[in-house]
Amino acid sequence: MPVISPALELSDRVGAWKARWGIGRMSYLVPAGVYALGSPTPDDPVLVTANYKMCYDLVRRELAGRNVWLLILETHGINVWCAAGMGTFGTEELATRLEITRLATVVRHRTLILPLLGAPGVSAHEVLARTGFSVAFAAIEARDIPRYLDGGMRTTAAMRELTFTFRERLVLVPVELVTALKGSVWIAPPLALAASWREGHFSPAAALPALLAYTGAIAAGTIAAPLALPWLPTRSFAVKGAVAGVLWSLLFLAATGWRGLPAAATVLLVTAFTSFLTLNFTGSTPYTSPSGVKREMRLSLPLMTGGLAAGIGCWIAAALR
Amino acid sequence: MKGFSHLANVATLALDREACSGCGACVEVCPHQVFALRDDKARIVDRDRCMECGACRTNCPAEAITVDSGVGCAGGMINEWLDGILPGRRRGGGCC
């Protein structure tokens, strides 16, 4: 059985940083199985988490100075929350992993401590019926584990309440940004080409303002809107994003002095794009429901498409004049 | 969740109070405090906070809870929709 340390090395920190920036994020994992942290006895607690390395690192770091068993489930490198939603951090995998690792022969007690956000996938009563182990959903955040263990394994109200603080939103920004920039491979070149076409010939310098407007729209949708989320108006992500887009386009117009059709094209295109990017951020928030996102998409995607078409129309009209 | 709420009146969450045994598992697993125990049975105290994760349904021994659960992610839904109209489409890596 592997014996592990709670200390995070430089390579662990670099690995977490790379995952946050979307570098090798889908293959950042540790092998599933039972690990010994410190020198646990058969009476020491068992904590269960996913095999996304960031989950494993967060949990073991919080367990410094303790003797515990870690049971790592095979979620194919996906975090607890997403894996529970997909069912891979689930009853079936937990029961199978208990069998493979023969955990019942390793520990004398029959209690498993799970992250609360694993509950969508793990049915505590089914696990008990199938394996004889009772499941305790301890807390949402790994940082609450020490208090949970020291407080007689009791979950306080605060430990089971989700938060979405500025800092928690900030760590999500890099992946949003990188994903949008990857998509730009398909959008930016034709945009630059179209923008540089002036009076029958190409003048590359003319592409710069268009690329600036575009880059700003990406920043508004993937950095500004997520960070300013609670302060942007309405509950709708599409509207929040549209507001961020309008603000950025007004700033851009003030700087460039564009008027008339080019200005209208900028506002329409930037707003539609920023609104879409912000709607996409629903996937990273811990409070939007599929029904809510579906309704938002039904209402806003036609408007975004309309805005896009109208923006292109204004642009063509301006070019033809 | 303090300071955040998404669209109102959309969640598909429903609780059959007749079937509820009052074990309180839903109260314990819900990360948005949608349930509370009243008169020895669970009660939905704020449906609009529900994000349809399905933790309550999965952990209800009495099978008293129904919810059309899933991941509330626009990217994932667009991917599913594209898979529907473009069979055999290759997907890049991504969580949904």
Structural domains in chain A plus CATH codes: 3-160 (3.40.50.11600), 166-320 (no CATH)
| pTM score of the predicted model | 0.91
Query: Given this model, what pLDDT does residue B74 score?
Result: 72
Query: Given this model, what pLDDT does residue B96 score?
Result: 45
Query: Given this model, what pLDDT does residue B90 score?
Result: 56
Beta carbons of B1 and A286 less than 8 Å apart = yes
Query: Given this model, what pLDDT does residue B92 score?
Result: 45
Query: Given this model, what pLDDT does residue B94 score?
Result: 46
Residue B89 confidence (pLDDT) above 80: no
Residues A70, A59 contacting (CB under 8 angstroms): yes
Cα A164 to Cα A49, A76, A77, A219, distances in angstroms: 21, 26, 23, 20
Which three-class secondary structure state does DSSP give residue A36? strand
Query: Given this model, what pLDDT does residue A77 score?
Result: 94
Query: Given this model, what pLDDT does residue B76 score?
Result: 73
Q: What are phi and psi of A254, to 5 degrees?
A: -65, -35
Query: Given this model, what pLDDT does residue A105 score?
Result: 97
Q: How far is B26 from chain A (nearest CA, A)?
A: 10
Residue B91 confidence (pLDDT) above 80: no
Beta carbons of A123 and B54 less than 8 Å apart = no
Residue B80 confidence (pLDDT) above 80: no
- Domain B14-85: state its class: alpha beta
Query: Given this model, what pLDDT does residue A278 score?
Result: 97
The ranges of chain A with pLDDT < 70 are: none
Residue B45 confidence (pLDDT) above 90: yes
Give a three-class secondary structure readout of chain B.
CCCCCCCCCCCCCEECCCCCCCCCHHHHHCCCCCEEEECCEEEECCHHHCCCCCHHHHCCCCCCEECCCCCCCHHHHHHHHHHHHCCCCCCCCCCC
Chain B residues close to A297, C-beta within 8 Å: 74, 77-78
What ipTM was assigned to the predicted interfaces of this complex?
0.89
Beta carbons of B31 and A125 less than 8 Å apart = no
Cα distance between residue A28 and residue A76, in whole Å: 9
